[in-house]
């Protein structure tokens, strides 16, 4: 029988297990309870905003009674003990700032951590790396939500405010963003059984980044852990063998579970580990000490050369290994899926040469397109008549003179309003406000000879094209969240667009109508799918220099 007790040092705040075979869903919240004012951010979100929906979903809530390092550590230790006892199915960890980071690790700071340095950060805070290592031992699924919070400017040597690149643990899902948006994620999908992690990433607020284990089929609450205890134990044994990743570990699994569910995967992995060339290749790549950013660069180079790594995330999964193998085959190297120093140099040189080729071709195409754009404007839009302006915008919706053409059409429409009957004006205003296919079709049916009919027909055509390309646009939108979801990445995109003359407007890390127009213009000139969103393919071309 499972027994819940209160830990004396954290009275009323921490729950732990005194034994029992059944497992719980558990949430560890390192939030703002008992936090000093100097460390509180301007966010309206609190620990309670996370705890309430998690508790309603059946999670046992564990949180320290204040933000002292001792109580924070004791709370984490209670979860660690429950994990070691196999008493945790699903695990959610909420970490609210402030945070401090070195070039290798990040910490959630306690009330006494304002002056922490790299030498004592582990004493005055909780390591996010340690929380990750703890989370990956959950029996079922684990999610870590991180709200960086307020930046502390009194940190000592070796530390900077905020979150460093996460060293993500296998099988753990990471969700990072402002606290209010994370509360929105918790309430808006994380706790729903039919929402996968990938779907959660697609619908998450713009400032939220979802990484790590992001499955299309599995979410936190979906496809729950099987009741079969033996199957659960075998999954745990298999996960441990994968984490250790040695021949001895996989052989131990076969001894414990002859004919087990993962027998074929074990055979494949043993074949690899027993293969000297591939083992040496892996060791050679490990010797390069590639940072996550360096791995992102390799993935961009592969994509630029036509070998799709299935993501530009700095994590070498099956997609990246397959892309490396394909490139090695193309170059006459032995196919190992791992890079050595000479191959890395060859890859960079080839990608650099390809980027120069694409840039030169893009400039040639751009010059020709701009010439055609100006000629078409001279023939259609320069005189300022409505038909010519609309004809120009239909051919060049993001052209050099598109803003001028649209401004003139707006003036024509405004002048026409004074000449139009009230009933017709109101019908047109209703269509513009609804801005959907059905409303424009109704307007055109009721007023086929209206002076607003050309504008209605133009917008109807645009919406019809968008509906036809909805799948492509939605895919690009989802990819943009992954590769350019944060303000820093968006600032890089805007700077690149400005450098090549695409005119994204103000370079501030915030995408607006003018930025979308610049992205479409860039995509159209480089024969990329024209969506107005920064897809992986678009990001690769931008960062490659063209």
The yes-or-no verdict on residue 226 having pLDDT over 70 is no
State the pLDDT confidence band at 232, using cuts at 50, 70 and 90. Answer: low
User: Coil, strand or helix: which one is 318?
Assistant: helix
Q: How many CA atoms lie within 13 A of 65 on its CB side?
A: 10
Average pLDDT over the chain reads: 85
Residue with tokens 């307007």: 443
The three-point CA angle 25-31-35 to 5° equals 150
- Dihedral in degrees, nearest 10, Cα atoms 447, 453, 456, 462: 130
Residue with tokens 């917008």: 459
Helix axes 453-468, 386-395, angle to 10 degrees: 10
Structure confidence by residue, pLDDT tens digits, 161-213: 889 888 888 889 999 999 999 999 999 889 988 888 888 998 899 899 999 88
8 A C-beta contact, residue 484 and residue 505? no
State the pLDDT confidence band at 31, using cuts at 50, 70 and 90. Answer: very high
pLDDT of residue 274: 76
Structure confidence by residue, pLDDT tens digits, 463-476: 888 888 888 888 89
Distance CA 321, CA 314 (A): 12
**121 token code pair:** 């950060």
| Dihedral over Cα of 171, 486, 536, 472: its sign | positive
Cis ω for the linkage preceding 98 (within 30 of 0): yes
pLDDT of residue 231: 65
Q: How many CA atoms lie within 13 A of 252 on its CB side?
A: 12
The neighbouring-strand residues paired with 210 are 175
Rg (CA), the chain: 28
Q: In this structure, what DSSP letter does residue 38 have?
A: G
Instruction: Give 328-384 as a DSSP string.
Output: HHHHT----S---HHHHHHHHHHHHHHHHHHHHHHHHHHHHHHHHHHHHHHHHTTT-
Beta carbons within 10 angstroms of residue 277's beta carbon: 11
Q: What percent of the chain has pLDDT over 70?
A: 93
Structure confidence by residue, pLDDT tens digits, 364-422: 877 888 888 888 898 887 777 888 888 888 888 888 888 888 888 888 888 888 778 88
């Amino acid at each position: 029988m499972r027994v819940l007790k209160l830990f004396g040092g954290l009275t009323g705040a921490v729950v732990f297990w005194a034994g029992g075979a059944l497992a719980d869903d558990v949430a560890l919240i390192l939030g703002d309870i008992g936090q000093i004012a100097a460390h509180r951010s301007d966010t309206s979100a609190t620990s309670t905003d996370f705890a309430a929906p998690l508790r309603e979903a059946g999670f046992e809530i564990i949180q320290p009674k204040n933000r002292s390092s001792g109580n924070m550590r004791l709370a984490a230790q209670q979860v660690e003990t429950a994990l070691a006892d196999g008493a945790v199915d699903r695990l959610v960890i909420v970490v609210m700032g402030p945070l401090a980071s070195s070039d290798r690790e990040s910490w959630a700071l306690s009330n006494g951590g304002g002056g922490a340095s790299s030498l004592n950060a582990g004493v005055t805070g909780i390591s996010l790396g340690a929380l990750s290592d703890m989370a990956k031992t959950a029996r079922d699924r684990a999610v870590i939500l991180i709200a960086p919070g307020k930046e502390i400017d009194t940190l000592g040597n070796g530390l900077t405010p905020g979150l460093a690149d996460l060293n993500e643990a296998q099988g753990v899902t990471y969700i990072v963003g402002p606290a209010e948006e994370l509360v929105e994620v918790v309430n808006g999908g994380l706790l729903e059984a039919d929402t996968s992690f990938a779907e959660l990433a697609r619908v998450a607020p713009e400032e939220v980044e979802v990484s790590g284990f992001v499955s299309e089929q599995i979410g936190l609450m979906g496809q729950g852990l099987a009741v079969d205890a033996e199957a659960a134990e075998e999954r745990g044994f298999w996960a441990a063998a994968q984490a250790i990743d040695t021949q001895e570990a996989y052989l131990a699994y076969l001894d414990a579970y002859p004919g087990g569910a993962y027998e074929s995967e074990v055979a494949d992995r043993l074949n690899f580990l027993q293969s000297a060339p591939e083992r040496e290749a892996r060791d050679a790549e490990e010797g390069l000490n590639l940072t996550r950013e360096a791995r992102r660069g390799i993935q961009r180079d592969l994509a630029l050369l036509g070998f799709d790594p299935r993501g530009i995330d700095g994590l070498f999964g099956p997609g990246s290994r397959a892309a490396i193998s394909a490139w090695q085959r193309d170059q006459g190297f032995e196919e190992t899926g791992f890079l050595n120093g000479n191959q890395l140099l060859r890859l960079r040189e080839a990608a650099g040469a390809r980027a120069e080729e694409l840039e030169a071709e893009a400039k040639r195409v751009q010059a020709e397109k701009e010439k055609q754009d100006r000629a078409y404007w001279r023939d259609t839009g320069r005189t300022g008549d409505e038909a010519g302006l609309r004809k120009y915008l239909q051919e060049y919706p993001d052209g050099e003179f598109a803003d001028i053409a649209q401004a003139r059409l707006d003036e024509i429409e405004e002048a026409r309003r004074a000449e139009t009957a009230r009933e017709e004006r109101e019908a047109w205003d209703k269509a513009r406000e609804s801005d959907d296919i059905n409303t424009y079709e109704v307007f055109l049916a009721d007023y086929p000879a209206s002076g607003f009919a050309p504008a209605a027909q133009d917008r109807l055509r645009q919406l019809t094209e968008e509906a036809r390309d909805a799948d492509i646009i939605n895919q690009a939108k989802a990819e943009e969240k992954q590769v350019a979801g944060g303000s820093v990445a968006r600032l890089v995109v805007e700077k690149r667009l400005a450098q090549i003359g695409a005119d994204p407007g103000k370079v501030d890390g915030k995408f607006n109508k003018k930025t979308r127009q610049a992205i479409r213009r860039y995509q159209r000139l480089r024969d990329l799918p024209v969506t107005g969103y920064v897809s992986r393919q678009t990001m690769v071309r931008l960062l490659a220099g063209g």
